[in-house]
Amino acid sequence: MDTIVAQAMARWPDVPSVYGWLRLDRRGRWLIRNEPISHRTTCEFIGRNYAWLRDGDGKARFYFQNGPQRVFVDVDHCPYVLHLAGSGGNHLCTHTGIAVAAPQRAWLDAEGGIVIEFEHGVGSVLDRDLPALAEQVSDSAGRRLDTADWLQALDSPQPQLQLTLGERHIPLGRLAPGSCAAHFGFDPAPRPEPGEDACV
């Protein structure tokens, strides 16, 4: 979190939160009132001050700390969007610039994407990087998949696959349609609590 943001929070601790204005789409773009934010410095500022907290039900709610004000984020798919980075394109990085050091598990989602759980949360892989990442998928014996294997895996509720990321071989399961938020315990569209003083 930026120092200037922490200072503003200390100076004005009770500013009402904002809901329904800021959105993160499947490509890692920030949108305000459904219009993409194209100013690079603004996007970087949002990324540096992107965080989460748990609500009363234990679900994670993601937000951008804009000075003293919390701006809750509607999440289209996953709270992070991952892309391939590094000289060999074999490491992942989040849309906020965080390197993925410890991928733990991966899933195929209903749209043919890949979702990865890592040390900071869960992210979906950017669509343009899916073909390269698909090359790192193998069966439980380590054999690379051909087209028939992929079709069978996409039809299977629990495929026996693994994804290789660097030196790690992580299991690749299957997510049911529309289950991402419930499976990983986050609120995709936070809204004010009853009686909360908020901006909507």
Delimit the domains of the chain by residue range.
3-77+183-199, 80-178
CA 40 to chain centre: 19
Query: Model confidence over 141-160: pLDDT tens digits?
Result: 888 888 787 777 777 777 78
Region 56-68: mean pLDDT is: 92
Q: 3-77+183-199 architecture in CATH?
A: Roll (3.10)
Q: What is residue 88's predicted lDDT score, i.e. its pLDDT?
A: 62
| Sequence-separated (6 or more) residues with CB below 8 Å from residue 38 | none
Query: Model confidence over 99-114: pLDDT tens digits?
Result: 999 999 999 988 889 9
Is 0.95 surpassed by the pTM of this model?
no
8 burial level (CB within 10 Å; 0-12, 13-18, 19+): middle
Structure tokens at 194: 């009853």
The percent of residues above 90 in pLDDT, for the chain, comes to 58
Query: Residues, the chain, total?
Result: 200
**189: pLDDT confidence band, cut at 50, 70 and 90?**
very high
The percent of residues above 70 in pLDDT, for the chain, comes to 95
Structure tokens at 47: 């990324």
